[in-house]
Amino acid sequence: MLAVIPARGGSKGIPRKNLLQVGGKPLIVWTIEQALAVPSLTVVVSTDDDEIAAVSAAAGARIVHRPADLARDETPTEPVVLHAMDACPEASADAVMLLQATSPVRLPGTLQRAVDEFTEAGHDSTVGVVPNPPFLWTHDGPDAQALWDVAHRPRRQDLRRDQLRYRETGSVYVTRSWVYRELGNRLGGRIGLFVMDEREGIDIDTLHDLNLADSWLVNNATSN
């Protein structure tokens, strides 16, 4: 199975984000090392940036050099994955794992479990999620609207699986190759949830997120 880690050089929110030191190593290296710990994965970094390519290659990843037209601010992720699939046709023949380098907090064994669950469940695509209680609201108009029954508020510890809601982390997706090629999407066909630990829900978009990830990785770093 092909594991694709997109890593563009032109990050706007946090400049050079993929190379920042987080938990004692460049951010992207965490995801590379986690993926390399899964024997069935062929790990590639798709990048337009020479420095990211050098750091990623030193960490053990194969490099797919991304053309400029796939490295714009508005470029969707799916064409980037398809480009990597074309560069590695044998590894991507059946399925592809998409990993976001900005979600470095993954517990030991998480990516192996993602491969195993995808294989056993027979889904066409799976999305990494973390569980959340159902206490969600909307505010479309003068009054707030609860998306749950306020007259029968359950205790958090009593919540059943069917009462939970699930937040997409962006950390990991596993997708049949035909879904990318025929639908141009990371999700399609029969979609399953890959439920991750709540601690794995950190996605680095802000400096606050960066500090959270750095603190967690420094205190909990271990081989995946």
The 10s digit of each residue's pLDDT in 107-159 is 999 999 999 999 999 999 999 999 988 888 888 888 888 888 888 888 888 88
| Residue 27 lies inside a defined structural domain of this protein | yes
Average pLDDT, the chain: 91
SS3 assignment, position 44: strand
Q: Six-digit token pair at 143?
A: 């009054």
Provide the pLDDT for residue 72.
87
Whether residue 171 is predicted with pLDDT greater than 90 in this model: the reply is yes
Q: What's the domain range around 38? A: 2-129+167-220
**pTM confidence score:** 0.89
CA 79 – CA 84 distance, rounded (Å)? 9
**66 or 73: which leads in pLDDT:** 66
Query: Is residue 138 in a domain?
Result: no
Residues with Cβ within 8 Å of 124's Cβ and at least 6 positions away in sequence, in order, are 175, 176, 178, 179, 188, 189, 190, 191
* pLDDT value at residue 223: 44
Please check whether residue 149 lies inside any domain of the structure.
no
Instruction: Answer yes or no: is 114 within a domain.
Output: yes
Asked if the structure places residue 194 within a domain, the reply is: yes
Q: Considering only 10-14, 81-85, 87-91, 182-186, which range has the smallest mean pLDDT?
A: 10-14
Q: Using an 8 Å Cβ cutoff, are 84 and 2 in contact?
A: yes
Residue for token pair 């030991």: 108
Give the tens place of pLDDT for each residue, 84-108: 999 999 988 899 999 999 999 999 9
Establish if 144 belongs to a structural domain: no
CATH number for the domain spanning 89: value is 3.90.550.10
Nearest to 19 by CA among 51, 64, 57, 58: 51
Domain total for the chain? Answer: 1
Does residue 134 form part of some domain? no
Percentage of residues of the chain with pLDDT beyond 70:
98
Q: What is the pLDDT of residue 195?
A: 95
Q: Does 136 map to a domain?
A: no
